[in-house]
Structure 1
Amino acid sequence: MHLAVVVPAFNESEALREFHLRLAAVFDKLDGMRCEVLYVDDGSRDDTYSVMCSLRDADARVSTLKLSRNFGKELALTAGLDHVDADAVVVIDADLQDPPELIPTFIAHWREGYDVVYGTRASRAGESRLKKLTASAFYRVMERLSNTPVPRDTGDFRLLSRRALDGMKQLRERQRFMKGLFTWVGFKQLSVPYDRDPRFAGTTKFNYWRLWNFALDGITSFSGAPLKAATYVGSFTAMIAFIYGVWVLIKALVWGDTVKGYPSLMLVVLFLGGVQLVALGVIGEYLGRLYVEAKQRPLYLTDEFVAAAENPADR
């Protein structure tokens, strides 16, 4: 049996060596399995790739992939999945928030017949209350809006069987929300709760602005609910405006009321204008994603790929 571990990294040189020590210890305990790890450098500005190369030179189970620039975690993860061919693939970050020691548990459930085994965060150490609150709110919003149920409090840390991996390789959209895509492929899936640790070193690459845009990508990739909401709000507003207009006309014809109230008129105009701009913004988000998809650019470009020494034919 062949196990591959994909580790996307961006400016993670401080954590990589410790991560590999713990991962190698897990590999050593997996009797009867051929193990390898693919480190993907997503255009790091520090010496992340140099550390990856040194790990590859010291361990024959290590492969390295360097992208031509920073494409973002979703595409770096996609590149890693494209370059592995194994019976089972584990996706994990290099910051040690997700424990490599949980991999044998994933493998045990995979052997029971599960195609996707994912880690669900029972706790999130080292994160602010605001970060935990916004993350919880995002997953619950996605749960309600998306036709594809995205598991709550679940990141990218998971195991994929070969057929789940083959399914992922067929999904070539450019605006990628991997958590949703992992669920979209279906098959038999299982959650494994665990306690998430704080980062071993460095700082998170996701500030609140990037997280906000990430949430927009997730919602627009897996739900048309914002478009429907814009339609409903517009229809409701138009109905209220029509009823109010009829009332003003009746007052003028029956009681001879003159139409007054410049401030209230401005308030209505500004409100309706704001609703229209919000609706146009929602449409623009979807239209912008169609524009990106229509250009048909490659998902990523590879600078260098070096296969593990245990597979010399792949060099």
Structure 2
Amino acid sequence: MKDQLISIVLPVFNEEAGIQATIDTLLNYIEQQEEHYELVFVDDGSQDKSVSIIKNALNLHDNIKLVEFSRNFGHQLAITAGLQYTKGDAVVVMDADLQDPPEVIPQMIKKWNEGYEIVYGKRMQRDGETIFKKFTAKMFYRTFQKLATIDMPLDTGDFRLMDRKAVHQLLKLHEQDPFVRGQVTWIGFRQTSVQYHRQERLAGETKYPLSKMIKLALDGITSFSMKPLQFVNIFSIVPLVSGVLSLGYMIASSSYSLAGVGVTILLFTLGLLMLSIGILGSYLGRVLDQVNNRPRFIVSKTEGFEERNKGIHHFTARQMNN
């Protein structure tokens, strides 16, 4: 519909090599659509020329907006911040590297107009990614589905369309380390999918190396599952049972020394204890982050739209100079 405004949120982190192509592609896409669009870029502390390229485009196009973080706060918080600055009837979240093709957005809008409040992209194929990354991603989604208290769809990322009322409810959540795709599942509403072919990155390198993938997985599991804590109780039984069985076997067979069995059980027990402490630490770390109540992110500057304070921590020029 011609009166609809669609906001597109694009987190950006060191995308100098491909951000201009992304801007050009999206502007070309917008020109062919009947809806109105705004592009909200969220710079997550880039150290390259990404911001200057976006600003050049912003000076030429009224529908381009820019939100700048004071430092790198992470991809998920960049999405969260972008949602707070949108004003569209529906909001699309997509990566700034064109792996999420804009051509899929009309399919999402069609589903939205049919009455669905959330339409997520389901990846049927992933080009340009290693076998290891594809395998670990597949395993994560299936493990998460077994552990979590929510039924998050398999093989979906953050590429999705959300109705304004869904965005409004999502912004009520204030987790320090949000797992956005899990949060979107948790809030409910009518949800459906559109299938798409995830393209190879046009330029630059992935901003999700193994370390960040692991952190994202841990954030997701500890946000929506208590089963790892239950596993700790199960693990505590294993050393006890092993000790009793080993002692019984040693007495019956007389083939193992007491010292040998003792050392084996001790090492096994210590390993389980360390694993259990690590699991507990992950949950306690999340509690500590919430108790500290620090701002989840700090926006140093915005350009392209009027300043709107919706609980966002934003420094004015005067405050920064004091």
**TM-score, structure 2 length as denominator?**
0.90
| Match in the other structure for 2:8 | 5
Q: Tell me, yes or no, if structure 1 residue 272 matches structure 2 residue 275.
A: no
- Secondary structure of 2:86 counterpart: coil
Question: C-alpha displacement at 1:283, in angstroms?
Answer: 0.7
| Match in the other structure for 1:306 | 303
Q: Tell me, yes or no, if structure 1 residue 262 matches structure 2 residue 259.
A: yes
| Match in the other structure for 2:317 | none
Q: Which residue among 30, 36, 39 is the counterpart of 1:27?
A: 30
Which amino acid is the alignment partner of residue 128 of structure 1? Answer: T
| Match in the other structure for 2:199 | 197
Larger mean CA deviation between 229-238 and 161-170 belongs to: 229-238
Pair 1:146–1:313, CA change in 2 (3 A): closer
For the 8 Å contact 1:307–1:314, the answer to whether it is kept is no
Question: C-alpha displacement at 1:259, in angstroms?
Answer: 9.1
| Match in the other structure for 1:163 | 165
CA distance in 1, matches of 2:99, 2:286: 31
| Match in the other structure for 2:315 | none
For the 8 Å contact 2:62–2:304, the answer to whether it is kept is no
Q: Tell me, yes or no, if structure 1 residue 68 matches structure 2 residue 39.
A: no
Structure 1 residue ranges without an equivalent (≥5): none
| Match in the other structure for 1:283 | 280
Question: C-alpha displacement at 1:132, in angstroms?
Answer: 0.6
Larger radius of gyration: 1
Question: C-alpha displacement at 1:28, in angstroms?
Answer: 1.7
For the 8 Å contact 1:23–1:101, the answer to whether it is kept is no
Question: C-alpha displacement at 1:243, in angstroms?
Answer: 5.5
| Match in the other structure for 1:118 | 120
- Secondary structure of 1:14 counterpart: coil
CA distance in 2, matches of 1:176, 1:268: 39
| Match in the other structure for 1:228 | 230
Question: How far does the alpha carbon of each residue in 1:205-237 deviate from its partner, in whole angstroms, 9 at most, with x for none?
Answer: 111122112211111111111111111121243
For the 8 Å contact 2:77–2:177, the answer to whether it is kept is no
CA distance in 2, matches of 1:82, 1:299: 13
Q: Which residue among 176, 181, 184 is the counterpart of 1:179?
A: 181
CA distance in 2, matches of 1:86, 1:209: 34
CA distance in 1, matches of 2:129, 2:37: 32
Q: Tell me, yes or no, if structure 1 residue 146 matches structure 2 residue 148.
A: yes
Pair 1:267–1:106, CA change in 2 (3 A): same
Which amino acid is the alignment partner of residue 61 of structure 2? Answer: D
CA distance in 1, matches of 2:104, 2:215: 30
Structure 1 runs of 4+ aligned residues shifted over 6 Å read 312-315
Structure 2 residue ranges without an equivalent (≥5): 310-322
- Secondary structure of 2:17 counterpart: helix
Q: Which residue among 231, 234, 239 is the counterpart of 1:237?
A: 239
CA distance in 2, matches of 1:277, 1:46: 41
Which amino acid is the alignment partner of residue 293 of structure 2? Answer: Q
**TM-score, structure 1 length as denominator?**
0.92
Larger mean CA deviation between 106-115 and 214-223 belongs to: 214-223
